[in-house]
Amino acid sequence: MAAGKPDNFGIRFVTKVRWTKTGGRNTVAVEKRVSETNHFPFALNKRAIIKKITEKLAGELEIYFRAALASRTEATHESSKAENKYDTRGLEASYLARGQSKQAAELEAAIAEFAKLGARKFAAGDGIAVGALVELEHGGERSFYFLGPRAGGTEVIHDRKEILVITPQSPLGEQLLGKKTGDQPPLNFGGAKQVAKILNVE
């Protein structure tokens, strides 16, 4: 007989019960082993995390689309025509619309990248790479990072934990690439070196 149940730390045990006969008496031997381990202090569902990131980016994209449309409309409106050579309202609105359109295009590209990312499972000993969820301890605090292909700086909440998206091109992402669980690299935080410990990579 076997049963599996996660404990409070997210560790799933499988219990096997074996009946044996010793000296004419029935005895029971219980064997307990770990079948699946989640070291993160929350229910790990990487697909759900990626979905939350994508949904947040989609929400930002909608805002930029609306802003760009409003700026474009203002730039071409009759009231924005220059009344003299010092009147730059229309030009400023046009520049603003271009900037917002560029941001929207970057968000679209980020959404496409996350959509094809997949929920890669990192085995013990695997180095940090794109798609990794990392738990880091430094300065007496624990923080969670998702190494994504784009959209660095995006924050999502999963199981009441804040997860920050970083990219391989970001200062922190570049320092973490290839590092493994248990490594204690000196990392640059705000211009100051701090020894950090990589608690988990998934």
Which residue range(s) make up the domain with 20? Answer: 2-37
Q: Is pLDDT at 155 greater than 80 in this prediction?
A: yes
Whether residue 191 is contained in a domain is answered as yes
106 and 50 co-located in one domain: yes
What does pLDDT average to over the chain? Answer: 78
55 and 30 co-located in one domain: no
Phi/psi for 36 (5° steps) reads -155, 130
**pLDDT digits 0-9 by tens, 111-145:** 999 999 989 989 989 999 999 999 999 989 999 99
Q: Is pLDDT at 15 greater than 60 in this prediction?
A: no
Full-model pTM: 0.69
Whether residue 25 is contained in a domain is answered as yes
Domain count, the chain: 3
83 and 22 co-located in one domain: no
55 and 32 co-located in one domain: no
